[in-house]
Structure 1
Amino acid sequence: MFENLTIFQTSAAMARYAGQTQALISQNVANADTPGYVGREMPPFSTMQPAEMAGTQRATRSGHLHGSTTVHEMASVEMRGSENPNENTISLEAEMLKAADAKSDHDRALAIYKSALDVLRTAVSTR
């Protein structure tokens, strides 16, 4: 019942977005020395469609009635930028700044979730 509240869906989508962003940053950093590698990044969260943010149900066995057996991931876009001496589009300094932003976004999502949960608990308490 409470998992259908918009505040919880939005904060969960924010946390998933930050996690996917961190995954792409780690791939970019791991390939920083790969010649010709084109980095990827997430589009801004504000441009994401509700269906992309909400995630989908996932079937872990073929006998499940609803859901997909494929894992739903958010779409990423290729990075554009000047090439560095490694002949790719990765700047480690920029990636570290993006990683700090993604951590901040994830912490914000968790704070929103916790705050909404505290408000909900207060509202339903029988004090």
Structure 2
Amino acid sequence: MFDRIETLRMASSMTAHATERQKLIAQNVANADTPGFRARDLARFSETYRSGVAVEMRATRPSHVTGVSWGGAGRPKDLASEPAPNGNTVSLEDEMIRIAQAKREFDLSLAVTRSSLSMIRTSLGRRA
């Protein structure tokens, strides 16, 4: 039932994106000393979510917009950074910044989910 509510679907996709990004960051940090390892990251959520599947909306007039492009997950990409002498491109400082961004994205997705569920409870006549 809740999968048909676009806001909850978007929040779920944002949670999945933040989770995948945290996994990639953890792999980068774990391989910080591995010779030849190339750091990877996901594209921003806004870039990946709006590319892919088109969702058709109902329109009551021909001038209404009927389709918005929303989509699925992105693919990991190599980060272009200066390699160390051993060929490793992981920068722990950059990874710390990325993990803070991923945490902020995850927290935002949880806030959107809580707010949406609170509005649903209110519309059903229950107090949050």
TM range (shorter): 0.7 to 0.9
Q: Residue in 2 aligned with 1:17? A: 17
Q: Within 1, Cα distance between the matches of 2:88 and 2:126?
A: 60
Q: Residue in 1 aligned with 2:59? A: none
User: Which residues of 2 match residues 22-101 of structure 1 at below 5 A?
Assistant: 22-48=22-48, 49=51, 50-53=70-73, 74-101=74-101
Q: Identity, % of aligned pairs?
A: 37
Conserved? CA contact 1:84–1:91, under 8 Å: no
Question: Can you give the 5+ residue segments of structure 1 that lack an aligned partner in the other structure?
Answer: 54-73
CA RMSD of aligned residues (A): 1.6
Conserved? CA contact 1:32–1:91, under 8 Å: yes
Aligned-partner residue type, residue 33 of structure 2: D
Q: Within 1, Cα distance between the matches of 2:107 and 2:121?
A: 21
Q: When the two structures are aligned, how many residues end up with a matched partner? A: 107
Q: Within 2, Cα distance between the matches of 1:111 and 1:86?
A: 42
Following TM superposition, the consecutive aligned residue runs of length 4 or more in structure 1 with deviations greater than 4 angstroms are none
TM-score w.r.t. length of structure 2: 0.77
Question: Can you give the 5+ residue segments of structure 2 that lack an aligned partner in the other structure?
Answer: 52-69
